[in-house]
Amino acid sequence: MKTQLTLTQRQALKTLNFIGIMLFTLVVFNPVYGQTKTNSVSEVSVNERTIKGIVSNEEKVLKDVNVRLKGTRVGTVTNEKGEFTFPKKLKTGDILVFSYLGYENQEIEIKKDTAFIKLVLTEDLIEMIGALDSAKPYKSKRKN
């Protein structure tokens, strides 16, 4: 009797277990679906955001630095304080390209938590030289 009961109990447990797993799956996986859905919704509303920032070199802020959304013509330039507010709302994964004559171009990817970009541009360390062409006919130096 005891064993039988246990058997029935076991069977019942098995069924319960099965139902439990099913329920668990429902409970666990359903919200996952829900989450991704709500996530993609919130990405549009929360993650697409206005990005601000400040650009400088090693010494001071830089005015007129070009800030551009990669692959587009959308962009802006930094003001006298080196600050910019990007004119288009950006989402995670977007890339901003910073360019300024004499400095190395820099690409910054918008991460999940990016709201403000503080960027220091590095100079293009190039040696400046320059010889001009000349149309002056060559003249040999002569001793006399």
Partner 1 sequence: MKLLRFILLFIIAFQANAQISDFKHINFKKADSIALEYKNEGLHNLPELSHKLTSQLNTEVEQFRAIYRWVCNNIANDYNLYLKNKRKRKRFKNDSTKFKTWNNNFRKKLFNRLLKDQRTICTGYAYLVRELAKLADLECEIVQGYGRVSTTDIENLDLPNHSWNAIKLNNKWYLCDPTWASGIPDPETNRFLFNYNDGFFLANPKLFAVNHYPLEAKWWLLDEDIPTFEKFLAAPIIYGKAYKNLELHIAPIQMHHTIKKHETITFKYQLSKTIKSEDISLLIDNGFNNWTTKPKSTSIKKKSLILEHQFKTIGFYDIHLYIGNDLISTYTVKVKS
Tally of CB atoms within 10 A around 1: 5
106 binds partner 1 (CB under 8 A): no
1 binds partner 1 (CB under 8 A): no
Nearer to partner 1, 47 or 94 (CB): 94
- Dist CA 51 CA 116 (whole Å): 6
3 binds partner 1 (CB under 8 A): no
- Dist CA 108 CA 96 (whole Å): 5
Nearer to partner 1, 1 or 129 (CB): 129
80 binds partner 1 (CB under 8 A): no
Query: Min. distance of Cβ 105 from partner 1 in angstroms?
Result: 7
Q: Are 65 and 82 within 8 A, CB to CB?
A: yes
Q: Coil, helix or strand for 123?
A: strand
Phi, psi of 59 (to 5 degrees): -105, -45
Tally of CB atoms within 10 A around 68: 19
107 binds partner 1 (CB under 8 A): no
60 binds partner 1 (CB under 8 A): no
Binding-site member from 64, 109, 112, 115 for partner 1 (CB under 8 A): 64
Phi, psi of 88 (to 5 degrees): -115, 140
Query: Min. distance of Cβ 139 from partner 1 in angstroms?
Result: 7
5 binds partner 1 (CB under 8 A): no
124 binds partner 1 (CB under 8 A): yes
